Structure 1
Amino acid sequence: MFRKTPGFRVFFWIFTVTIGGFIFLPLLWMINTALKPAAETFTLDFFTGTKTMENFAHIVTDGKIMRYLRNSLLVSFGSSLMATIVCAFAAYSFSKFRYRGRKLVMGLFMMSQAFPQAILLLSIYVLMQKTGLLGSYWALLISYVVFTLPVGTWTLKSYFDQLPDSLIESARIDGAGNLKIMFQIVFPITVPGMISIAIYGFVWSWNDLLYSMTLVTDATKRTLASGLVMTFLGEASTNWGYMMAASIVAAIPVTIVFVFLQRYFIQGLTAGAVKG
């Protein structure tokens, strides 16, 4: 049995405090800056000086910021729903059907993960321009589905692989078609896995900056990430108090989604990670 020596305990606590500092210090600094008056933004006090809710009040009463928030919710929930549906059908096809080219398509799904997002943006931008979708929400929705598809499909495929084929064969004997089997038997059983993919897609689209700034340039259609950058970051000056307060507000929806659905997220990932 491994014995924890004094040296190991010292190393463990130093390592824990160091990692904790890297993780929590930026968060605490952001909260501290959001609570400072504009005149004290660059003072070195840490939760000891004057505190105010003025920055938060400005953010929640700013119609432009709330419009960005609404746009982000629309795009993130929409892309999450679309990605989950597409991943579910693709994963079920790969798991329960055998057809020519199946392994090739599965391999291409994973190969797409090897390309940097900035490289793929070049082809996606041209594609959206050719199809007339550039500047619309559809450009973002399709892009986010594309990036969620490889991880989501392979995760759900591992999940579907655990379902016994006898269950599906019994349903077919009873006269159920493929769609009825998927919607009434298979998908209800795999809800945790599908929720984990929905959360993954939501967080990915919510945090995206590169694609939202490139594919949508209309100020009224900007999402929260790109809207905050264009609003508070300038060449001459930057209002860090407003920026930090807006960042905290932007983190609330993702935090709420994860807190309430984390058990499904963990259950879905762990179940999909083990092939029975």
Structure 2
Amino acid sequence: MAQPIWLECALNGAWTRERQPRIPVTVAEIVEEGAAAAAEGAAILHFHAYDETTGEQRDDWQIYARIIEGLSARTDAILYPTVPGEATHAPDRFAHIRELAARGLLEWTVLDPGSVNLSVAGSPGRGAVYRNPPRELGPMAGFCAERRLHPGYAIYEPGFTRAGAALARQAGMPTPIYRFMFSDRFLWGFPPRPRFLDAHLALLAECDPGAPWMVAGLDVDLSPLLEHAASRGGGLRAGLEDAPLGTEANNAALTRAAARHARRLATPKEIRAALQPR
């Protein structure tokens, strides 16, 4: 029997509707689109919470709790929220994660193990910095170890793999999930080519052999990578967070298209079992 492929749907991201018009923003929209993506085979759902009045991202644990509770009533998918790139809403970027974990609402969390320039092709002198300083990562890694939260690593640059593997070992965290990030529009990391995925995998085999991984990205068409990733036993990610800006398809359609590259999709139960200590 073929190894089951993990499939994740990233429902919205931080784009706002100004840049990605079809993203779900309200709690009801996120729940509806998440349930639809799960019905298409997504065993993992990732989402950003929004202020329904302003249409801007708002990392409020109470909004996330409503999303998680709404989705949990519709699907048994693994559910996890984002962490803001800057401490714009509270002094502690991880405050909502701590609140949700305290209420037993989380299994995974974002914990990106490095910082990166978000430079854009055509304007390399412009852009932002996505900061994840060690002074924040260390305490949060300890929290993940204490609460048994699996850290989801977005690997923007190869050094993130080395740092993430070391952080997991030092803190005694549960198994990390490595998401190799690709983009054409942004100038970090690699464009979506199979040979660059192979480079990521060679490094992962040295740093954290056997760890689960998947391909993901921002403002990118991942289709050149999906067949190769599935053939190498990796997970796939779809959804409007990753898709090229202005995409007309909804999350269910994007999930359905990605699912065609897997001979068999993993269920949430199978993923949870694979992450249990051996």
After TM superposition, the score normalised by the length of structure 1 is 0.26
After TM superposition, the score normalised by the length of structure 2 is 0.25
Query: Larger radius of gyration, structure 1 or 2?
Result: 1
Query: Higher relative CO (CA 8 A, sep ≥ 6), structure 1 or 2?
Result: 1
Higher strand share: 2
Higher helix share: 1
